[in-house]
Amino acid sequence: MTTTPLRVAVVGAGPAGIYASDILARSGLDVSIDLIERLPAPFGLVRYGVAPDHPRIKQIIVALHKVLERGDIRLLADVDYGTDLTLDDLRQHYDAVIFATGAIRDAGLRVPGVDLVGSYGAADFVSWYDGHPDVPRTWPLEAREVAVIGAGNVALDVARILAKHPEDLLPTEVPPNVYEGLLASPVTDVHVFARRGPAQVKFSPLELRELGHVPDVDVIVYPEDFDFDEGSMAAIHSSNQTKQVVKTLTDWTLKEPEDLTASRRIHLHFLQRPVEVLGEDGHVVGLRTERTALNGDGNVTGTGRTADWPVQAVYRAVGYFGSPLPELPFDEVGGVIPNREGRVVDDGGDALPGLYTTGWIKRGPVGLIGHTKSDATETVAHLREDAEAGLLPPATERDPQAVTKLLDERGVDAIEWSGWQLLDAYERALGEVQGRERVKVVPREEMVDVSLGRRG
């Protein structure tokens, strides 16, 4: 059993990292935890991956906020692993490290034309409209007709943000540059394409229903896209969520043409597989899809029948993908850190002592935010087992102030919890002037200056 406080670093202050820190803090171990985050603000995907018009989901921040405000977990934000601190640095100052860096890249879509001008990854667009400090302030919104490829909530988010009238976003924390960009958009029609049928989509019932309540935006579905095989019926009967999704979609097929009077439209197409992004002079001018057919088990095969859709932009919402971390093994196929139940393993499958992982970088970008709790519980349980068995390589520098001193010497101004509180208050004050909960600060330099008390 460890006789001195265990020193643990958690890299990544999104939900996965905060859940892991919280579970570790309450594990019964005598432990000192530093939560290291490369961005100037915590909360990761909840701050920078959830659409601004989903305040209910953003309420998760309230719970995460309560964890960090307790004071038993030290936040060190605006500190980049691999640049400001190396793996050797972490091993010197901590007995164990949990990597919870998530998955922020777009998964690939291998079809011709995917690299044309006007073809975008949904993850990049989400980062833009959520005011991520590391992406450009502007976005090319020039298309009247847009295709969104994907059958999950991110595809719905992208379609909704593109089609929604910008003034309806004003009550949210949408950044000013995003509002101005959307205001200039000429979009009239957004087409969402799913390669399987209505019973196989990954939309959540609530998100889908909300799509039908966007002011002056009609949702259009096509009866010929509705097909249900044995696998579909089994999914409907076994899942209440699937049943609700299918009911909502089916109800929309009953709309009469005279009911469709909105100035903007979101079209949901099923059983359509993208096969090529069409281009002219290097720019997107259309999307070619192949009609698919359900083959009995909920999967599909191509029919050879294609259709061309005139669109001037294509957004790929086919999933997220993890990024490799310096000095750590990485699975290029799965986009994860190779691990066994959260213990990081080398190419030979042997555990690397003191190194752990949790969240999407551990298991891939599947499941909802809440699923990261069970991930973290498993990882922390193994960390505790290893600590109690004396298997952790001991830190050579155990003073908690030593790591901040090292950062100071390197010219890195780590932002602690008190700094986030300054930024939080600043954003809320900006919002109060406009009758909004907050206005999100976008430029990194401004975030840092506010957090460090250089402006206010």
Domain containing 299 — which CATH number? Answer: 3.50.50.60
What's the pLDDT score for residue 1?
Answer: 41
| Token pair for 403 | 């790591």
Single residue among 277, 305, 320 that ends a domain in this structure: 320
Query: Do 351 and 408 have their domain in common?
Result: yes
Residue 2 has pLDDT above 60, yes or no: no
User: Strand pairing of 31-37 and 6-11?
Assistant: parallel
Query: Do 256 and 178 have their domain in common?
Result: yes
Query: Do 123 and 181 have their domain in common?
Result: yes
Residue 131 has pLDDT above 60, yes or no: yes
CA distance 81 to 348: 25
Residue 377 · residue 23 · CB < 8 Å: yes
Residue 454 lies in a domain: no
Residue 395 lies in a domain: yes
Residue 87 lies in a domain: yes
Residue 38 · residue 78 · CB < 8 Å: yes
Q: pLDDT for 218-274, tens place per residue?
A: 999 999 999 999 999 999 999 999 999 999 999 999 988 888 999 999 999 999 999
Query: Do 47 and 122 have their domain in common?
Result: no
- Partners of 189 in the beta sheet? 145, 265
Q: pLDDT for 92-130, tens place per residue?
A: 999 999 999 999 899 989 999 999 999 999 999 999 999
CA distance 175 to 166: 11
CA distance 444 to 425: 17
- Would you place residue 370 in the very low, low, confident or very high pLDDT band (cuts 50, 70, 90)? low
Q: pLDDT for 287-328, tens place per residue?
A: 999 999 999 998 999 999 999 999 999 999 999 999 999 999
- Would you place residue 281 in the very low, low, confident or very high pLDDT band (cuts 50, 70, 90)? very high
Residue 420 lies in a domain: no
Locate tokens 């002592």: which residue? 353
Locate tokens 């939560």: which residue? 35
pTM, 2 dp = 0.93
Residue 425 lies in a domain: no
Query: Do 343 and 218 have their domain in common?
Result: no
Query: Do 42 and 59 have their domain in common?
Result: yes
Residue 157 backbone dihedrals phi, psi, to 5 degrees: -60, -45
Under DSSP, the state recorded for 429 is H
> How many domains, in total, are found in the chain?
2
Residue 427 has pLDDT above 70, yes or no: yes
CA distance 428 to 304: 54
Residue 344 lies in a domain: yes
Residue 451 lies in a domain: no
Domain extent at residue 392: 6-104+322-415
Query: Do 123 and 28 have their domain in common?
Result: no
What spatial distance separates the first Cα and last Cα of the chain, rounded to whole Å?
47
Query: Do 284 and 231 have their domain in common?
Result: yes
Q: pLDDT for 317-368, tens place per residue?
A: 999 999 999 999 999 999 999 999 999 999 999 999 999 999 999 999 887 6
What's the pLDDT score for residue 456?
Answer: 64
Query: Do 279 and 382 have their domain in common?
Result: no
Report helix, strand or coil for 326: coil
Query: Do 267 and 327 have their domain in common?
Result: no
Query: Do 13 and 53 have their domain in common?
Result: yes
Residue 202 lies in a domain: yes
CA distance 438 to 431: 4
- The DSSP-derived string for 43-101 is -HHHHHSS-TT-HHHHTHHHHHHHHHHTSSEEEEES--BTTTB-HHHHHHH-SEEEE--
Closest to 68 measured CA to CA, from 120, 105, 115, 33 = 33
Q: pLDDT for 34-52, tens place per residue?
A: 999 999 999 998 999 989 9
Domain of 375, CATH number, reads 3.40.50.720
